[in-house]
Amino acid sequence: MTSNIYSTYVYNFDACLTIRRSGRKVLVHSVRGQGRSAVAVIQYLMQIHHLPMQSAFRVTKLSRTLKINPVFRETLEFLESQLRNEGKLPPVQPQRILAPRVLA
Residue 91 lies in a domain: no
Q: Structurally, how many domains does the chain consist of?
A: 1
Domain that holds residue 31: 2-85
Residue 101 lies in a domain: no
Residue 94 lies in a domain: no
| 14 has a pLDDT exceeding 80 | yes
pTM of the predicted structure, to 2 decimals: 0.77
Residue 27 lies in a domain: yes
Residue 78 lies in a domain: yes
DSSP-assigned letters across all residues of 64-100: S-----HHHHHHHHHHHHHHHHTTSSPPPPPPPPPPP
Write out pLDDT tens, residues 45-87. Answer: 999 999 999 999 999 999 888 888 898 899 999 999 999 999 9
Who's near 99: CB < 8 A, 6+ residues apart?
none
Q: Residues of the chain with pLDDT > 70: what percent? A: 81
Residue 100 lies in a domain: no
Residue 98 lies in a domain: no
Question: What is the CA 13 to chain-centroid distance, rounded?
Answer: 12
Instruction: Supply the CATH number for residue 39's domain.
Output: 3.90.190.10
